[in-house]
Amino acid sequence: MGTVAQDSGALTPRAADFPRWYQEVVAQAELAENGPVRGTMVIRPWGFAIWELLQSELDRRIKAAGAQNAYFPLFIPEQFLQLEASHVEGFKPELWVVTHGGGAPLEEPVVVRPTSETVVNHFFAKWIHSHRDLPLLINQWSNVVRWELRTRLFLRTSEFLWQEGHTAHATEAEASAYAVRILEDVYRDVTEGVMGIPTLVGHKTARERFAGAVRTWTCEGMMGDGKALQLGTSHELGDNFARAFGTTFSDPTGATRYVFQTSWGVSTRLVGGLIMVHGDDYGLRLPPALAPRHVVVMVVRAGESTGKAAAAVADDLASRGLRVHLDDRAEPSFGRRAIDWERKGVPVRVELGPREVAEGTAILVTRHDRAKTPVALAGLADAVVEALDTTARRLYQEALAFREARLRRVATVAEAIEAAASGFAVLPAASLDAGGEDRLAEAGVTVRCLQRDDGSLAPDDGDDLVAVVGRAY
């Protein structure tokens, strides 16, 4: 996608050109823009503030699951990736490799971190000796670099921000349970409860599984054009990396055993998902939990009495624990400022002019439905809090209704391909015979996840296993 100029014009309607609409929202809401090196991204303050709020929600839940934050190097010896065969084959097309440093060739090329399983295991093998060292639960917040042919801001860039968790356990059952805990208690809880995105969970097919994993659990969301976005993944690695790196421990009997591991991560892609699920033809719509400002108090026409009243309203709202911004600028015009805040997705605007001050009222504007309601100043704070609660609820309900309207149950691969033109298809996993995924791939469709027929997590087999398929970003 090319760069779209940031102007004051109307956005392209979503229904007319969804990709272009997305670009324009990212630009006009001042979320991000392309960096000087192909595939890189500059995240602007408003976009980064959204990411910081997401980080906070995720980090709190990750720590509640027992993991501690650490940091591992950006540069990884190329030989590390050679130790786990399926891992290196899976990432080989995406690697950025450094061959020179200080103006001279390096003795050994180093890979710019595409993910950290290998370097983490190098140190896990040094840190883990006894069963008393387990479980070892580590998370890091960092950037990663992967070669991308087609880039889209937030959704697919050569460098992006993320968190990646890496854990070691004494048994395969413990590792499996922890991977599912992260999927459910961290990722699904955030995507649904904080972001307001209805989320389907399940495991990937062997074809779609993370390179080096024995099972990949995933959260999948439907975007505003019916396509799928992988929101987060949690991988059971078995003892594959432990065997490659000699990561062992002595059990209570003194026997030496390999650890079983997990890895899991979400990235700034979540910001792209937030835009595509909740955005409308007027710009971004933010769930209150992720809004850098819950409410903007806007002075309609500057004046001493209006300014003082607006400042008092802003202070009162801030005292309720809300993130408040007072916009009392004389320029640009009130209409231009209102459109800018609407583009940015601020959940609530409070508009206050001389007439409202004289009447003891304010105009409350809710972004999710663009409704304007006169409210008495005496009850304004309560009305704003109620509006924020309503916004969070309505955004999720709208997204859920949209997904359910575009989710079809079918019986064959051919029917699934047809249904995936406008949304998701759910078909019996048994319908995916030996060539089923190939036929889907030829049509630009993939299996997003396998789950039980009731939508719950399922093992790799079972008569009630269904496949959710769709076109993906």
State the DSSP code for 87.
Answer: H
* pLDDT digits 0-9 by tens, 454-464: 999 987 777 78
Count of H helices and E strands in the chain?
15, 23
Cα angle 171, 177, 183; round to 5:
140
**Cis? peptide before 19, omega within 30° of 0:** no
Per-residue pLDDT band at 91 (split at 50, 70, 90): confident
Residue 1 has pLDDT above 60, yes or no: no
Query: How much is the pLDDT for 6?
Result: 40
Q: Are 287 and 196 in contact (CB under 8 A)?
A: yes
Query: How much is the pLDDT for 8?
Result: 52
Residue 90 has pLDDT above 90, yes or no: no
Q: What average pLDDT does range 390-418 have in this prediction?
A: 97
- Percent of all residues in the chain with a pLDDT value above 90, rounded to a whole number: 89
Q: What average pLDDT does range 90-99 have in this prediction?
A: 87
CB-based contacts of 343, cutoff 8 Å, min separation 6: 11, 25, 28, 29, 282, 283, 284
Per-residue pLDDT band at 236 (split at 50, 70, 90): very high
* pLDDT digits 0-9 by tens, 16-51: 999 999 999 999 999 999 999 999 999 999 999 999
Q: Which two tokens stand for residue 234?
A: 């949690």
Query: How much is the pLDDT for 7?
Result: 44
* pLDDT digits 0-9 by tens, 429-447: 999 877 899 999 999 999 9
Per-residue pLDDT band at 89 (split at 50, 70, 90): confident
Q: Are 327 and 298 in contact (CB under 8 A)?
A: yes
Compute the mean pLDDT over every residue in the chain, rounded to the nearest whole number: 94
Q: Are 238 and 288 in contact (CB under 8 A)?
A: no
Per-residue pLDDT band at 85 (split at 50, 70, 90): low
Domains of the chain and CATH, by start: 18-278 (3.30.930.10), 293-393 (3.40.50.800), 407-470 (3.30.110)
| Integer Cα distance of 389 and 289 in angstroms | 10
Ramachandran class of 428: left when φ > 0, alpha when ψ lies in -120 to 50, beta otherwise = beta
Residue 141 has pLDDT above 90, yes or no: yes
CB-based contacts of 287, cutoff 8 Å, min separation 6: 194, 195, 196, 274, 278, 347, 391, 392, 395, 396
Q: What average pLDDT does range 221-230 have in this prediction?
A: 98
Q: What average pLDDT does range 266-280 have in this prediction?
A: 98
| Integer Cα distance of 292 and 152 in angstroms | 23
